[in-house]
Structures are given as C-alpha cells and as structure tokens.
Structure 1
C-alpha cells in the first residue's frame, strides 16, 4: 500500500513526532509513504505528467529520513492554509483526485485543524480512503477532547506569563497578555488558570469594561507588589464594540486592526489611569520543540492512523475522548463547534476559570 500524508493550517509542535510514527508504522507493514509539501497547496502545484513538479511538491518518507525529527518543532512537510475548493479559479477537487490516482496513492492521512480536515472529510465523501488527525493549539476541533499542539501552547504561555511578571511588577503596572484563540478560549482559560493570573477573558464571553476594569484596579491595589495580570484570547470581544470578525479571519501577520489585547490596554490606561504592559505571545506559543504530552499524542495518533488503515477503516478521524484514544467519522467536525463550557468551567462575572470541581472529569477537564 502507498500512503500519502500532509500537514495543513498553522504549524504546531507534535506534528513531526506524528509524521515519524506514521512512517515507522507503515514501514513495519512494508508500505510506502509519500509526504506532500505545503498541505493541499502542494497537490495543486503537481502536474502528474511533469516529474519536476512531483519532486518539488512531494518526496518519499523513509525510516532513515525521519530519524530524529520527533525532537523538532514545526513540520518537515511545511504547511499552507489552502482549501482546494476555495482557490481562485474555482473548486479544484478534481485536480486533487487526479493527482492521487496518477501517483498511485491508495490512502491519505491528513494532519490539520478545522480547515484542512473539512476538505479531508470532503474527499472522504468522494470515496477517497482518508484518516484525519486533529492538530491545533486552540484545541477547537469538534469531535475530540485533544488536538496535537495544545499542551505545548499552554506550557509556552504559562512560562511566558510568569516571566512577564518580573517586568509588570517592577513597573507596578497591569499586564495584558493576548493569546491565540480566535473561536475558542480554551488556551487562555487553562494558561490563565495555571499561571494563576488575576483575570482571564475568553473568546466566548464579551468583556464588560464596567465590570472588568474595576476588578483589575482592585487586583492591583490589593497586591503587595502593586501589579495585576490579565490574559485575553485574541478572539475575545469588548462589549459595545462592533461584533465583527474583521481581521481575525486573516493570519495574524496580515491583520491591520489593533488586537483586542491592545484595545483593552488602552481602556485600562484611559479609564483607571494605570500603566500597562501589553504583550501578544502569538507565534511564540507554537514555536520550538513539543512537550512530552504532544510527543506522546503525536506518536499515538500516527500509530492509530496506520492501524485503522491496516484493518480497512477509512473516513475516520482519530481522537481522544475522556482520556481514551479512539476514532470518529471524518465528518464529525462538521457537526458542531467546540468551545469552552462556560457554565461549567468559567466564572463569567469574575473573569476567572473555575476548574477545581474535578472528580470524574477527564484530564483536560472537557
């Protein structure tokens, strides 16, 4: 059997362990693995009749070729956010199908977030054997409790928040740290809780400045060191502002609008007169090598994907549910939207996580 694999969407730590796991598991069965570069974009740049285009956009993955990559962050396959159905010139699904057929790819394993896996589900509906692997540091793929990259992003965020305390405290200011999380506030919720910040604003609950700002002022005033810390999701909104996605639909590097963290910082300065330290952690959250959790999940998801193909399963997405590895239909992510359980995990009146009722809860409390 010949397996094709790709990574799409934003890179996260844990993808390379997953790539290594897939390659080694397939090699143990005598299967060949082809890696496609730059996600679905690589497919669109291949002319099956042109060997140079094939070589430029795909390459064989071997046991020796993936040695040591599990210690690396990012993805050796590189990535893009391309959906072949929405590119200029119209839907190019047929080209993807043509490449798969002419290159002799028997099944695809795709690693990605919501966008990448939506097209994977589309291919599965067209009869292509597909196994999807969820990855996103926002942890917002519906149908799984966990996606590769989430643990490392939270760990990186906690480290950075605690490091920033030295400057915020030294200047007796209010620190406002903005974390990635456009639709879901899970990363901010857990990072804020683990770093024990004063307030956390998540994407699911608009910030009412008439409530939040007095709370932060009191946090600062009651602190022996005269400072306070606030974490906010990039997708959070401020009550009274226009409720629009605006630039949030674009990659962070292409946005023209001022982020919500800086808007909150300006309001703090203007309305309560405190100095502010604003910090967007942004890509630092997904930079560097994976932590132990994302290595483990990457290895496990990759091995499970091959096991499913070995027994003839297709159109599946590997998942973690209640702490157990499992798999669900590939189109599961189309059936809902994953977000923070506000009533169960968040005190919206105090802008704080409430995570201490943990009996019989899964490890990540979802």
Structure 2
C-alpha cells in the first residue's frame, strides 16, 4: 500500500492525538502517503480529506481531544452513506483506513472492510469497554481526572460531615466508576454490570454512622441512574446530609497521561504495520502489556465485562 487514511470517530478521548501522530509518522517512515479525514465518517462522506506530513502532527502529542475532529454520522450507517464514503476513498486513492474510536466506529470499519476497503480499528474511548484489550486510549486520563476531583470532594465532605454522591461517565460500562472507587476508597460503587440494591448502600452507610463515621463518598456510573435520585433516597432513609456532584464532560478533556500517550503511540503504529502486512478487518489492542490484534467482527460479537476480583475487593475494603 502506498496511500492510507486515518480518522477519529465517536466520543473524543485524551490520547487520540498521540495515536494520529503515530499513524502519520509511521506511514512517512515507511514511505507511505497518509491522508487525514476530518469529522469522522461524516467528513469521509463529504470528502473533508487532506494530505498530512510530519509538520501536521507537530506539538499535538500532549493535547487532549482530536485535531482531526470527530462527529457521529447517521448517514454512514446506511448503504448509501457507505457508498459515498467509498467513492471519496477512491477519489483520493486511499487504499486502507485506520479508524480510531469505540465500538460504533468499529462497525463502520467492519462495513468498509466487507466492501473491499481494508480497515484497522484502534480502540479510543474513555469507557474502557472494548473487548480484546486491557485498556483503551483515554481511560487512564479520564480515570485520573475523576480521582483528582474526588480527592477534592472528600476534603469538603470531611469538613462538613456530608455524604457525597458523585456521578461519573459509563452508560453501559462501569470501569471508570470501579477503578476510581477503589483508588479513592469510596464507600459504595454503583455500576451497570452489577445491579446493587440501594438497601445495601444504605445499610453500609448506617453501619458507618454507628461506628462514628460522618462522611462518605458514593460513586454512581451514569448508566445506573441519576445521582440526584440516589441522593434523595439516601437522605430520606438515613437523614444524612447529602450533596451531588456530576463530573460530566470534564472527564473527556485534558492533556493525556504518560500511559495514554505511550499506549496510543504503540497502537497507532501497530495499526499501520498491519495494513502494510496486508491485513484487514482487525482491531489492535494490548493484553499483558503485549500488542495484539483481533478479528474486528469477532470483537463486536463480544461483551465487555468488569474485573470481578476488583469489584469484590472494593466491597471488602469499604466495610
């Protein structure tokens, strides 16, 4: 292959720029032309494509977000939208495509591969919910953002003797809530994968009060329900003074951590290598600190699961 393309799709994640940089410079190192597609699959349909060089990715490794921008495209989910995208790939002579994003982005890559355009998926999502890889780009940065926020919340929770309910991202996956809860010593962690009864949370709070505890942190993944609803129920059942913090989109932004920069660089470069080896329809990942690749169709059939031992440990340590 002599000409490749790269795009970012779905929700942005810190480290995407590091992955873009790795893709571009790995291509140039191997004498391959590389084109950046802006605004994800919608940009592909519209032909928002430009050639990139070494300078195109200078000074971006430390930046959050994505310099190629991202957008969700309902049009690309249709046969007609995919046809338009393929026409643009042909127009620019792009022979293979690297897609940085989550499972929705990978479905687009899967469709293009089925239609004869080789694609490689690079997992970029703060939710860490892609099977076949221990970590996704952006997870570590988002996790550290949450931990820093909860550390500050605990200071005021201690000072005012209050119970804080903190809502974090995670519509279908609880990794952010679980890891942050364990790292910050949360008294309770509510995640989509485990339908914990609120009665258990309240019982744990009451036991804490009985032994003299006057402040607590409860972490709720957004997919479980509203932190405000949980706060009201807790206040009603315990008479404890409660407060709610919804961290929202601050979890997506910020300069990527060293871990995310290195991970993104390794995965981006590996994606280029796979295309140059003639492979297609694959997803790159990391398992036990070793780079791996999997059939993207098989990955999309699987469901992400949490670390059960870690979840049990979080309960044992929050007695």
Structure 1 CA distance, aligned partners of 2:56 and 2:38? 15
Does the CA-based 8 Å contact 1:132-1:316 persist in structure 2?
Answer: yes
Aligned counterpart, 2:234 = 268
Does the CA-based 8 Å contact 1:174-1:220 persist in structure 2?
Answer: no
The offset of 1:339, in angstroms, is: 2.0
Q: Which has the higher helix share?
A: 2
The runs of 5 or more residues in structure 2 that have no matched partner are none
Does the CA-based 8 Å contact 1:140-1:184 persist in structure 2?
Answer: yes
Aligned counterpart, 1:243 = none
Aligned counterpart, 2:293 = 327
Are residue 104 (structure 1) and residue 93 (structure 2) matched?
Answer: yes
Q: What is the SS of the residue equivalent to 1:92?
A: helix
Structure 2 CA distance, aligned partners of 1:115 and 1:67? 29
Aligned counterpart, 1:247 = none
Computed over aligned residues only, the root mean square deviation of the Cα atoms, in angstroms, reads 1.8
The offset of 1:10, in angstroms, is: 0.7
Match of 1:227 among 208, 212, 215: 215
Give the 5 Å matches for 1:189-338.
189-223=178-212, 226-237=214-225, 260-338=226-304
The offset of 1:29, in angstroms, is: 1.3
Structure 2 CA distance, aligned partners of 1:66 and 1:214? 53
1:61-114 deviation per Cα after TM superposition (whole angstroms, max 9, x unaligned)? 210121110010000001012254446xx7421111111111111110000101
Structure 1 CA distance, aligned partners of 2:135 and 2:106? 15
State TM-score, norm by structure 1: 0.82
Aligned counterpart, 2:70 = 79
Aligned counterpart, 2:58 = 67
The runs of 5 or more residues in structure 1 that have no matched partner are 47-56, 238-259, 356-366
Structure 2 CA distance, aligned partners of 1:196 and 1:292? 24
Does the CA-based 8 Å contact 1:193-1:353 persist in structure 2?
Answer: no
- Number of residues of Structure 1 aligned to a counterpart in Structure 2: 316
Aligned counterpart, 1:360 = none
Match of 1:345 among 301, 310, 315: 310
State TM-score, norm by structure 2: 0.94
The offset of 1:185, in angstroms, is: 0.7
Structure 1 CA distance, aligned partners of 2:241 and 2:72? 38
The offset of 1:319, in angstroms, is: 0.9
